[in-house]
Amino acid sequence: MSSSNPLRDPADRRLPRIAGPSGLVIFGVTGDLSRKKLMPAVYDLANRGLLPPGFSLVGFARREWQHEDFAAEVHDAVKEHARTPFREEVWQQLIQGMRFVQGTFDDDDAFERLRGTIEELDKAQGTGGNFAFYLSVPPRSFPVVIQQLKKHGLADQSSGSWRRAVIEKPFGHDLKSAEDLNKVVHEVFAPDQVFRIDHYLGKETVQNILALRFANTMFEPIWNRSFVDHVQITMAEDIGIGGRAGYYDGIGAARDVIQNHLLQLMALTAMEEPASFDADALAAEKTKVLGAVRLPKDLGRDTVFGQYAEGWQGGEKAVGYLQEEGIDPQSKTDTYAAIKVEIDNRRWAGVPFYLRTGKRLGRRVTEIAVVFQRAPHSPFDHTATEELGKNAIVIRVQPDEGVTVRFGSKVPGTSMEIRDVSMDFAYGESFTESSPEAYERLILDVLLGDSNLFPRTEEVELSWKILDPIEEYWDRHGRPAQYPSGTWGPVEADEMLAREGRSWRRP
């Protein structure tokens, strides 16, 4: 993008950031993610006028489709899942740049056809050779696709144009495999052209953590070990593994969620103020925090892994994990994981961070709760404050996005009785309807080359360094604790906190 454009003016804040001439190639375009998230996000971006004229969307899959079939499929997906209303003229703009390439990942002809398609689009649509390759494919296909891109010259950037790779989690299943994967990818794409999607980081509420902390004065002074008692980060799902047995078994909740989402949320909650809001400064601070994470000495005591057992979930009967179709009845895969970590730095020394995630829990919720210490001295007598809990600031990531502040307040009418009340900032009801989906933001950032919201290689590898010892411990010791579906996890997890005089929040 030329900086000499006289129509661009930093003071002109109405003009949105429009991506330059470019196209997006989606591998695995027939998949769920593509239909439910990616295609609607592309349409929503176009509808908001954020895509460049001539933007092109290329689907690559095994299915025997013509361009028209693909367009029809996108049309249906957009109609069903897009956030913004369907508009014919936006569709007309998009459809001109839609192409489908049929083939398997090891099919050389197909990749040649893909290259032909890209060259044709450069001519017909003016995409200028700028293409992002979105790998919405199973992890085992990563290396094949990456190698094919290299072999057919699709990853070569000519002067003035770019080629980028977008990859989805999992970024490996342990440190070693992550390093291998990074090596494969970086051999073909330069590190700054690789975008790892962690869709949590695209959420408005997650970006709001930084705004909350660093744009205000009232939170940061108490955001440290002198005032914070502990931090709980929860991501709970109410669903089971559904049809993903093949992917999930052997991976488990910790690898699936803690390694990426929860550790990223923790890094954003705990990091120091970055020097600026650019990608390098942010990554530097997050890396520092992740590097300072210390695991508990006794992993048996301070980590818990579990599996959902048969039970009732929200009025429906649910089978246990081991009874799910396609799951080995002897499987030790965790569907629930809770760990305690500490961050060894001046700000956080001695403050435990409890991370937990699980399937088939009470309800679907993701939140960060910063729980404060009790007041050092209370002028009220014991009976007055009996019902008073600890103060807390809760950042609700999803659903019902917002921030809750919990504090004590006098109950009206009584002599002196203090009880917890909540003060609520609801992003949710009013803003979400119009605030963009995470994928919209992230796809746009990829096209703009803005890597603020994407975890980097070092962050991924550091996260595995944190998780690997825990996974190894679980492998060698014991079996997952069973918890009935629809509850908030195994009793062992409650005991883990109770030993330290704390308890899990009921989110």
Does residue 124 bind another protein (CB under 8 A)?
yes
Does residue 123 bind another protein (CB under 8 A)?
yes
| List 24, 61, 90, 355, residue binding another protein (CB under 8 A) | 90
Contacts with 217 (C-beta within 8 Å, 6 or more apart), sequence order: none
Does residue 85 bind another protein (CB under 8 A)?
no
C-alpha 435/C-alpha 212 separation (Å) is: 17
C-alpha 9/C-alpha 12 separation (Å) is: 5
Does residue 490 bind another protein (CB under 8 A)?
no
User: Which listed range, 86-94, 261-269, 310-318, 498-506, lies at the site for another protein (CB under 8 A)?
Assistant: 86-94
User: In the structure encoding, which two tokens stand for residue 301, read together?
Assistant: 């005591």
Does residue 116 bind another protein (CB under 8 A)?
no
Q: Measured from the CB atom, is 78 or 231 closer to another protein?
A: 78
Q: Measured from the CB atom, is 7 or 218 closer to another protein?
A: 7
- 43 by DSSP, 3-state: which? helix
Does residue 412 bind another protein (CB under 8 A)?
no
Q: Measured from the CB atom, is 159 or 434 closer to another protein?
A: 434
Does residue 158 bind another protein (CB under 8 A)?
no
- Which contacts qualify for 478-482: CB closer than 8 Å, 24 or more apart? 478/300, 479/332, 480/305, 480/306, 480/307, 480/332, 480/333, 480/334, 480/335, 480/336, 481/304, 481/305, 481/306, 481/307, 481/336, 482/306, 482/307, 482/308, 482/309, 482/320
**Number of residues near another protein (by CB under 8 A):** 44
Question: Is residue 33 within 8 Å of 168, Cβ to Cβ?
Answer: yes
CA-wise closest residue to 400 among 370, 373, 371, 422: 422
Q: Measured from the CB atom, is 428 or 484 closer to another protein?
A: 428
Annotation marks residue 261 as catalytic: yes
State the amino acid at position 317 in one-letter form: K
Does residue 14 bind another protein (CB under 8 A)?
yes
Does residue 6 bind another protein (CB under 8 A)?
yes
Subset of 49-68 contacting another protein (CB under 8 A)? 49, 52-54
36 among the known binding-site residues?
A: no
C-alpha 121/C-alpha 131 separation (Å) is: 10
Strand 23-27 relative to strand 311-313, pairing: unpaired
Does residue 161 bind another protein (CB under 8 A)?
no
State the amino acid at position 178 in one-letter form: A
123 among the known binding-site residues?
A: no
Cα Rg, the chain, nearest whole Å: 24
Question: Is residue 126 within 8 Å of 54, Cβ to Cβ?
Answer: yes
437 among the known binding-site residues?
A: no
Subset of 91-110 contacting another protein (CB under 8 A)? 92-93, 96
User: Which listed range, 46-54, 105-113, 337-345, 369-377, lies at the site for another protein (CB under 8 A)?
Assistant: 46-54
- Which contacts qualify for 205-210: CB closer than 8 Å, 24 or more apart? 205/395, 205/396, 205/397, 205/398, 205/401, 205/402, 205/427, 206/265, 206/268, 206/397, 207/453, 208/395, 208/403, 208/427, 209/265, 209/268, 209/269, 209/368, 209/395, 210/268, 210/277
Nearest distance, CB of residue 429 and another protein, angstroms: 7
Nearest distance, CB of residue 236 and another protein, angstroms: 25
Q: Measured from the CB atom, is 6 or 412 closer to another protein?
A: 6
Nearest distance, CB of residue 342 and another protein, angstroms: 35
Q: Measured from the CB atom, is 89 or 475 closer to another protein?
A: 89
| List 34, 47, 307, 331, residue binding another protein (CB under 8 A) | 47
The neighbour count for residue 325, using CB atoms within 10 Å, is 8
Q: Measured from the CB atom, is 5 or 415 closer to another protein?
A: 5
Residues lying near another protein in the complex (CB under 8 A)? 1-2, 4-9, 11-16, 18, 20-21, 46-47, 49, 52-54, 87-90, 92-93, 96, 123-126, 128, 423-426, 429-431, 433-434
Binding residues for substrate: 199, 203, 237, 256, 359
Binding residues: 62, 169, 199, 203, 237, 256, 359
Q: Which residues are catalytic?
A: 261
